[in-house]
Amino acid sequence: MTDNALVNSVTEKLGINKLALATLLGVHNSVFTHIATGNRQLPLKATAALANTYAIVANLPMPSLPQPTEAEIADNQQQAAWCEAQLQPLQKQLAQMQSIYQQGANMLAFLDKYAITNPPATPKQQRWLAGQTYQAQQKMQKNGWQAQQQVLLKIRLLQAEVAFYNSQI
């Protein structure tokens, strides 16, 4: 690790500025500025002090996070329950969309086979076939991949919120 990388790492981990670190190491500010930018090397005594400081800083345990209060736990449980309640209708909507889409696809497949085996001979039959084809296409369009992805995205976001709120309990 270069001197300037070591300086930057220690100042970041300790949360102090470079001027304070220079003072701690006993290095003049103008010299330390050149060291911090990589234009100069640390004096041997300062290097040893900085290496010791870095070794101590690198092994510091992470600070413990405060435990949530009873009110915060209750609020997180309430938020998670609300999100879970929102999930149920969306999951039903997605299942219904998939079913309607499949109905439309099945109808189109049937109509294709029907038109081949029983070609519409009269204008009335042609209109019926065109109308049925249009309805099947509309089912597929309104409940197609893009519409399903929008609902699925909402579901995934709510699931992530539930996981987040449960992790805070």
40-73 pLDDT tens trace: 887 777 777 766 666 665 565 545 557 888 998 9
- Report pLDDT for 57: 56
CATH of 3-58, one of 1.10.260, 1.10.3470, 1.10.3210, 3.30.2000: 1.10.260
Q: How far are the Cα atoms of 1, 30, 125 from residue 4, in angstroms, in the given order? A: 8, 14, 83
Residue pLDDT, tens place only, 82-97: 999 999 999 999 999 9
Beta-carbon-side half-sphere exposure of residue 25 (alpha carbons within 13 Å): 33
Identify the residue with better confidence: 45 or 100: 100
The mean pLDDT of 134-141, rounded to a whole number, is: 95
Query: Per mean pLDDT, which range of 31-40, 110-119, 121-130 is the poorest?
Result: 31-40
pTM: 0.55
| Helix%, strand%, coil% for the chain, nearest 5 | 80, 0, 20
Kindly list the domain boundaries of the chain, sorted by start residue. 3-58, 70-167
d(CA 162, CA 82): 9
The mean pLDDT of 134-146, rounded to a whole number, is: 94
Q: Which SS3 state, helix, strand or coil, does residue 1 take? A: coil
Examine the pLDDT at 169 and tell me if it is beyond 80.
Answer: no
- Report pLDDT for 13: 72
pLDDT band at 148 (very low <50, low <70, confident <90, very high): very high
